Structure 1
């Protein structure tokens, strides 16, 4: 058995691909949950031990719901050249198709795309079979972030490509039909790690933390904490001429992997939120990701919710930690993306002292209240995906979908939680324990990629 933490416990890879139908349901699935929940995970093939958690090949898990029934579960490796050992770096430079494709999976303009930030996306069928690398009909010539942002007003997909070499940051916009309508290199960017970003109604918000390119790091992910790397937030007006007006604001040292949301407040300030780690927290996570001796805690042990308020007139930035619970994988009702939101969700983890435990957290940003659905001993929930209820009127009128890995039962369940009170609405028993993964999406049949309703 492997001693690498990212290949054991909740993260132990599955060894094969299966399809199961007519899944058992506890409770009543809301009929509006008609579509597919798709989730990505790092799942190296049997006999392969990657040097870093992020290097594990991508496997996408799908659960098909329709009008109160759980019709199928299936899992498939994303069949990229890297799955068969093809190197990312070649004598001709980086091979953008040699992807793990294991970080996220989204739908845009009728295409299901598996993502990894150092590569091109990979297109999948509705049944999760691999179509191949997708470069937006030749218009995408950089890597693509694993965290694109779909504007709920325009239908555009905003994303970036980052590189440890110039140009360090290139911004792209794809219209609602899937055509890249705009690309621009962003001046002033550095080789700092840029995993996620945020979108407001009027601005694009980039984040450069204190983690940057390090050619001496030999885990296969050449980044490390560097006190000489200034932490900054870049604010760029949206539009074709925005790159020339980008401004960079210094912030406290730290590293943010995932943004919850950003928006302009009533007086025009930019408000950005997301979990961050300090140097000690980053090292705890890194030790786990590479399986270093003395790793101690699992990832996210010192990851705390942070808020930045950026005054575009004075240049001042107010930042503060707003909660003492260790959390990651923030989500919101995506209809509020880029606008002020009241409710925010996240996965809680035990901190370095064991405080907290696994659960799904709901924050009320107006009252300051925090509610937790506790997963229970040895049960790790996945990122909570928000799905609006039929006829929803309130921001939190909907459901949270999360797949729970249960080590004691060696099993997994899809939980459907009421997004208002976090009570359990229904559960679907899955045919195996699903590898704890990273990110995923709900794809309703009512979207352009609802797919064949018979799929």
Structure 2
């Protein structure tokens, strides 16, 4: 079986717990919490899930920081029924949606003092305990009518968490709002034809921005045995939906066909709406991840009154995993952070016949980028060959109520250290982005390339 789990994505084979980790530099004393990151990590490369990058069993990696110390590192598989059975454990109880019991592998977030691993396409999140053990699938105490979402966006003013769920058997997407206490307070169905994939969305103070793009469920590819039967569909068209947060009314505007996995941020600018995304020309061509062209960082400016959308290029370098200071989610902002590689598409999704030694050397000189959107310039923090770098997560300095500069804080990422054959948690000063790390926490094991993570305080 051909598998994408090679190179930086090669899975680890065991769960590890380590205490009192070695640190180069000094962990800032104000960092009190856990840095958690999720990703696919197949139990076996012979399993069907190992045939596609999105289908491997989920594993969460975490580092606990407190009082200037790195207290522990843990990595744990998320125990779906299949994973529990393979590990000779009892299945975890909990409600699943439409029989979808999938070990969430895409993101890990904190809500109301609880921790959840998330995934898309109709599955519910899995709740984890503080030390990353699996509690079980969760419907938020009965408030979740269907599945959940890979990506969520927190409104920093209200503390409400927004999500957009989809499922191939639905004729709609579902907008979900969870209050700061962890209760579902609103669900709203938005009619959508054609069963399109929806990996992410955007949030502003006035709108939820929905991406209805030409990657749709494909029965033909399912019948041919495609591991993930979603494919580029020229007949579907592309549009953005501006759903009023006040009334639920949706205004649709057409855009050039493209694909978007991830939003950097969005905000209202007078009567217009600005949405910054990583945009691909196409994706899932013939249900494959390695076709469709490289991504770039783009801006949509939407005029709801006229229905006109203007697209501009912020940065044409291939990049992904955009993050920003989430205290400004849905608000005007200046800085973003992304991960870049020589050819990110080939690093993440190499063609099936590509051997590791055939990839260009520069593919492993992975780099983090700080985007200054006000000045239109970038700073680069380069790590060496073989130093696979994960998504950059921004953590603000000081308390939640303190007034600070937007980039006053830290950028955290797991970085593979090829000399040690293990990973580091690298903590950079966001204001001295190209300088030496504030701290480098040396982990006892390699952390494979994966998807998304969070800093969860406390």
TM-score normalized by the length of structure 1: 0.88
Supply the distance in 2 between the matched residues of 1:85 and 1:254 (Cα, whole angstroms). Answer: 40
1:403 equivalent in alignment to 2:414: yes
Pick from 36, 39, 46: which aligns with 1:38? 36
8 A Cα contact 2:174 2:190, kept in partner = yes
Secondary structure at the counterpart of residue 226 of structure 2 = coil
Supply the distance in 2 between the matched residues of 1:167 and 1:285 (Cα, whole angstroms). Answer: 21
Pick from 342, 362, 372: which aligns with 2:370? 362
Q: Which digits, 9 at most, give the CA deviation of each residue in 1:142-190, with x for residues without a partner?
A: 1111101111111111112102233320111111111111111113454
Secondary structure at the counterpart of residue 259 of structure 2 = coil
Deviation for aligned residue 1:76: 0.7
1:233 equivalent in alignment to 2:233: no
Gaps of 5+ in 2: 87-95, 347-359
In structure 2, the partner of 1:89 is none
In structure 2, the partner of 1:383 is 391
8 A Cα contact 2:177 2:185, kept in partner = yes
Q: Which digits, 9 at most, give the CA deviation of each residue in 1:236-270, with x for residues without a partner?
A: 1003x31xx201111111100011111001x2211
Deviation for aligned residue 1:191: 1.4
Q: Which digits, 9 at most, give the CA deviation of each residue in 1:7-65, with x for residues without a partner?
A: 21111111111100111100111111111001101011135432211110001111011
Gaps of 5+ in 1: 87-91, 289-294, 446-455
In structure 2, the partner of 1:291 is none
Supply the distance in 2 between the matched residues of 1:224 and 1:199 (Cα, whole angstroms). Answer: 26
Task: Report the RMSD for the aligned CA atoms in angstroms.
Answer: 2.2
In structure 1, the partner of 2:260 is 256
1:305 equivalent in alignment to 2:303: no
Closer/same/farther in 2, CA of residues 46 and 220 from structure 1, 3 Å limit: closer
8 A Cα contact 2:394 2:409, kept in partner = yes
Deviation for aligned residue 1:126: 0.3
Supply the distance in 2 between the matched residues of 1:254 and 1:133 (Cα, whole angstroms). Answer: 33
Supply the distance in 1 between the matched residues of 2:155 and 2:97 (Cα, whole angstroms). Answer: 33
TM-score normalized by the length of structure 2: 0.87
8 A Cα contact 1:26 1:427, kept in partner = yes
Aligned residues: 422
Supply the distance in 1 between the matched residues of 2:24 and 2:97 (Cα, whole angstroms). Answer: 52
8 A Cα contact 1:168 1:190, kept in partner = no
Secondary structure at the counterpart of residue 45 of structure 1 = coil
In structure 2, the partner of 1:448 is none
In structure 2, the partner of 1:442 is 455
